[in-house]
Structure formats: structure tokens, C-alpha cells
Copies of this chain bind each other. A is one copy, B any other.
Amino acid sequence: MTSRNVSKTVVKRLPVYLRILDNLILRDVEIVSSRELSMESGFSAEQIRKDLAYFGAFGTRGTGYNTAYLRDKLLKIIGLDQKTKVIVIGAGHLGTALTRYNAVKNLYIDIVAVFDRDRRVVGQQIGHIRVLPFEKAPEIIRKHQVKVALITVPETSAQKVVDEITRHGITAILNFAPAKLHVPEDVHIQNSDLTIDLQSLIYYSTAEKERLSRLQKENEESKTQKQKILKID
């Protein structure tokens, strides 16, 4: 184990391993090899062994990994060994979906509160959680020492929301608004942009080669035309 900073790509795989272990434990499987984890996850066995080895030697040579033991270690590595407190800002459909899902399934996450600016939404229940007015956010963040926030508000208000909550102690944000938000240096922000995911998927929905060779031909034909467009436009 080296204690150099672990790369993002590795961190992104850890929760995948965690979920697989959860499922294995549910099925009373006690030992799992990197090869089996590879089949479940789609990552190579070498990569999995290397990922885990960043943090310690958790396996047994000749045998594999004890599922309960490895899960315990992964929880500590990711920081999920205590239930992590999370707030959700924005009680629209997306905010509701996220709240419902994470509140129902036990995913080591504790949704402390959901906030919205819209008076018509405030007071509604999402499962057992009541939607609070956004002005209450600072108080709740401080009281429960919440560090993590999910933002599902429209892009027009996203920056204001981020400014406000980072001021009161939020250090990690998962942002669903399609905007590049500015945060203080010590705050970690991660964007999840479903439209971009969808558009990049569409790239693969029709034959890539044909589309690109058609484009190439078009490019060649229009080398002269290009200048015209640039002038006219």
C-alpha cells in the first residue's frame, strides 16, 4: 500500500465492488475471487486486485477475498462506515426519485432533508421525509453537520444554491443542473448531466463509420464552400 492520492477512475469503481459484495453476502457467499468479481463487474481481474491493493492486502492467496471482510474494508475506504448524511435541494421529479430510491434501499446513506423554494411543494412528504423551505437549509446543514448535497434545481438557480450551501459547511456536491458551477477550492463538485449521457449514447445508435465517412466526403466537397459560409454568416 502506498498512500499517494488514488485516482478518480479507481474511486469510481469502488462502489461497484461494494454493490457486488452486498449481493454476494445476501446470497450467503463467503468467498469471492478477483476472477468472479471481474465477471460481475466487467472490470478485469488484474485491475480489481490492483484497485484493492492501493488500500491494503485484503485477500488470501490461493483462496480469494472474504466477502464480509472486504465489504467492511470498502465501507471504511469510501467513508460509508457511518451512514453519510445527505441533503437534496430541489423536490422536483428528479429530486423525488433520488430521495425515494436512497431512502428506501439501504445504501449507507441517510437523507436528512429535502428542500425546495416553491411554496406549493414545501410541506409535501417524500416517503417519511418532509420537504422544507430552502431558507431552512443553513440551519439543518449546521445542526446535522451535513457535508454532502444533491442539487436538482434548474440551472438558473444552481449557482446561487451552491454559493449558499457551501458557505454553511457543504464540501461535496453532486450537481444535476446542466451548468458549470463555481465552488470554493476545498469543495468537491461532480456533475451528472443526463442529457450529455443521452447525446453521447446517440452517437452509437447509428452506424458510426457510415455517418463519419459521409461527413468526410461533405468536408472535402465544401472546402471552398466553407469560406463562403463563414463570410455570409
Nearest chain B CB to A50 CB, angstrom units: 16
Name the contact of A148 in the complex, choosing from B3, B97, B205 (C-beta under 8 A). B205
Which residues of B are found within 8 Å of A190, using beta-carbon distances? Answer: 197, 200-201
Nearest chain B CB to A2 CB, angstrom units: 10
Mark interface residues in A86-112 (1 if CB within 8 Å of B CB, else 0).
100000111011101110010111000
Q: Roughly how many angstroms separate A230 CA and B65 CA in the complex, as a whole number?
A: 9
Count of this chain's copies in the oligomeric assembly:
2
Pairwise interchain contact A199-B5, C-beta atoms closer than 8 A: no
Q: Roughly how many angstroms separate A15 CA and B203 CA in the complex, as a whole number?
A: 10
Pairwise interchain contact B230-A147, C-beta atoms closer than 8 A: no
Hey, which bits of chain A sit against chain B, CB under 8 A?
1, 3, 5-6, 11-12, 14-16, 18-19, 30, 40-42, 55-57, 60, 66, 68-69, 73, 76-80, 84, 86, 92-94, 96-98, 100-102, 105, 107-109, 147-148, 150, 171-174, 178, 180, 188, 190, 192, 194-206, 208-209, 211-213, 215-216, 218-219, 226, 229-230, 233
- Would you list 23 pairs from A and B whose C-beta atoms are within 8 A, ordered by A residue? A5-B208, A11-B204, A14-B203, A15-B195, A15-B199, A15-B200, A19-B195, A42-B180, A55-B215, A66-B233, A69-B226, A69-B233, A78-B199, A78-B203, A86-B198, A93-B97, A107-B195, A109-B202, A150-B198, A172-B204, A190-B200, A192-B194, A192-B197
